[in-house]
A = this chain, B = another copy of it.
Amino acid sequence: MEAIFTEEYFMKKAIEQAKAAFDKNEVPVGAVIVYKNSVIAAAHNLTETLNDVTAHAEMSAFTSASNRLGAKYLNECTLYVTLEPCVMCAGASYWTQIGKIVYGATDEKRGFSKFSRQILHPKTIVNAGVCKDECSELISDFFKKHRSV
């Protein structure tokens, strides 16, 4: 892998997505899916815009990546997401058999790791805490802004 394609490099792409969510007054969570060093899907949280509580960044990214690859399984892909996946998104990742999940901030309430590692596919590798501070700050800034309105 060339030095440019670090985990931080791709997490920055996910952070760009999270910022796009922030600008739409959505809880700022962003995700990208990478296959052979290419971003094949990019999405952000759209629960308010779509009036659909299931419209998390990861769910949209999974569907989009499968469409792009024409494949049901994403075992050769990596998901980069700014916040630890919730139980729903982690449960979805099981079905996709995603190769790796890299996330930034920890979700103390609904993060999958609060429940069980078995929620993920046994072959899915996890790396937590990449660009953690930047990912966390985006979310705390969002809630500060909305509490002060």
Chain A residues within CB distance 8 Å of chain B: 47, 51-54, 59, 62-63, 66-67, 70-73, 86-92, 94-96, 110, 115-116, 118-119
Contacts and interface: CB of A to CB of B under 8 A. Distances in A.
A67 B51 contact: yes
Question: DSSP class of A's interface residues: helix, strand, loop or mixed?
Answer: helix
Nearest to A63: B52
A145 B70 CA distance: 26
Contact of A87 (B67, B70, B73, B91): B91
A53 B67 CA distance: 11
Nearest to A64: B52
A73 B118 CA distance: 28
A52 B88 CA distance: 15
B53 A59 contact: no
